[in-house]
Amino acid sequence: MNRLKQCLTAALVSCFLAVPCLSLADDETMLKDAGGGAIALQTDGKSDLLQAVRDKDYEKALQIVNGQIEAHDDDANAYDRRSAVYALQGRYDEALADCHKAVSLEPGAAFHYFNRGAIYEQRKEYQLAVNDYTKALSLSQNGNHLQGLMYFSRARAYTAMEAYDKALADLRQGEKLAPAFPHNYLLESLVYEKKGDKKLAERSRHVGVMYELMHRGDYFLAGSVAEEAGLYDQSLALLNEAVKHHPDDSRVYSERGLVYAKMGQDELAIADLTKALALKESAMDYNNRGECYRHLKQFDLAKQDYDRSMRMATDDDDKLAVSDSLGQLAMDQGDYKRAVQYLTQALAIKPYEDGYELRSQAWRHLGDTKKAEQDEAAAQEIEQRQLLDY
C-alpha cells in the first residue's frame, strides 16, 4: 500500500464521465452534450438567438432563425443555426435537411460538414458522421479552434463503431491541439476500458478530471487528482494556486505536503504539514510528517508524530497506515520483533502486498525462514490478483 494517505476521488472520476462537453471555442460555439454530436451555433455571443437557446426557449429560437432565413435565404450559416435548434428539439430529420442545404450553399466550408457529422452521430449513423468529420478536417486550417473538437467528435464516432485504435489516434491529435480539454481524456479512458487496459483508463480519467476541476477553478481538488495520477509537477503548480486562493485551508497545505513528500522534498513537506497541523490537527498529517522525519532519520520526532497519529486515528485506513509506519520505523531502527508486532496489527486490518513483504524481511532478520516464506507467498498472491484486475 501507499504509506502516505492519498485523496480519494473515485466519486469525482465517475461523476465527470457524464459532464456535458465543454467548448474549445469562445462564446461563438455552443455544444450539445458529450454523448451526442457537437451541435454548434454561430452567433455573435450576445444575440437574442443565443439567449433563447440558453433559456431553452427553442420555439422562440426557431422564430428568430426562421426570420433570418426569410431575410437571407442564401445564408448557409442561418441554415446551420436552424439545424442546431432542430437538433436541440430532437427533430433530426429537419436538422439534417438544413445541414444538406448549408453544404450545398457553401461546399468548401468545413463548419457545415462538422455540423452535419454531428447530426449523423445523433442519428447513430456513425460511418456517415466519420465521413463528414473527415471532410471537415480536410477543409479546416491547421490551428483552427474547432479542429481539436473535430478530432474529438470523430474519435467518439469511431468509439461507437468499436474502431478503438482509430479513436485513440484522433484523441492524441486532439490532445496536441487542446491539451487541457477534459473530454479528450475522459473519452480516451473509455476507449482504454473497452480495450481492457484498466491502468491507462484510470490514468486518463484522472487527467480528464484534473483539467475539468482546473477549468472550474477548484485548484485544490485538481491538484489532489493530479497527485493521485502521479503528476507531481502539475499537482504542485495547482496546489500553489490553491494556496493563493485559500491561505487558511489546512487541506491545501496537507495535500501540498503530501506531494512534496512524494517528490522526496521532505523538509518542504514538513513545513507544509506543520502549517496544516497548526490550522487543524489530523491523524494523517501527523503520520505523513512522521514519515518525512523517518526519511531524514530523525527517528525520535517520527515516533512522536506516529504516536499522536495513532491516538487520533478513528477509522481502519488511518490505523493501518500508522501501524505500517511504525513497522517501517522499527525496521529502520533494527527492532525486528517490534516491527513484526506493528505489521501484524496492520495486516489484521487489511492484507496488503507491502506489509507482507516487509514482515517477511523482519522474519528473516529474526531467523524464522518458514514464516518469511509464508509472507512472501502471500505477497505474491496479492500481486497476481492485482495483475489480473488490470
Domain locations in the chain as residue ranges = 19-161, 298-390
CATH 1.10.10.10 given to domain 298-390: no
pLDDT for the residue 28: 32
The predicted structure's pLDDT at residue 141: 81
Contacts of 108 (CB under 8 A, 6+ apart): 139
As to burial, measured by CB atoms within 10 angstroms (0-12 exposed, 13-18 middle, 19+ buried), residue 19 is middle
19-161: CATH, from 3.40.50.300, 3.40.50.2300, 3.10.520.10, 1.25.40.10: 1.25.40.10
Decide: 235 and 246 in contact? Cβ < 8 Å: no
Positive or negative torsion for Cα 27, 38, 81, 104: positive
For residue 382, the number of C-alpha atoms closer than 13 Å in the C-beta half-sphere is 15
Instruction: Give the per-residue pLDDT at 390.
Output: 56
Q: Kindly give the confidence (pLDDT) of every residue in the chain, 390 residues in length, as a single tens digit, with 9 standing for 90 and above.
A: 334 434 333 444 443 333 323 222 233 332 333 334 445 555 544 488 889 999 999 999 999 999 999 999 999 999 999 999 999 999 999 999 999 999 999 999 999 999 999 999 999 999 999 999 999 999 998 877 789 999 999 999 999 999 999 999 999 999 999 999 999 999 999 999 999 999 899 999 999 999 999 999 999 999 999 999 999 999 999 999 999 999 999 999 999 999 999 999 999 999 999 999 999 999 999 999 999 999 999 999 999 999 999 999 999 999 999 999 999 999 999 999 999 999 999 999 999 999 999 999 999 999 999 999 999 999 999 998 877 765
Evaluate whether 19-161 and 298-390 have a shared fold. yes
117-155 burial, b at 16+ Cβ within 10 Å, e below that, comes to bbbbbbbebbebbbbbbebbbebbeeebebbbbbbbbbb
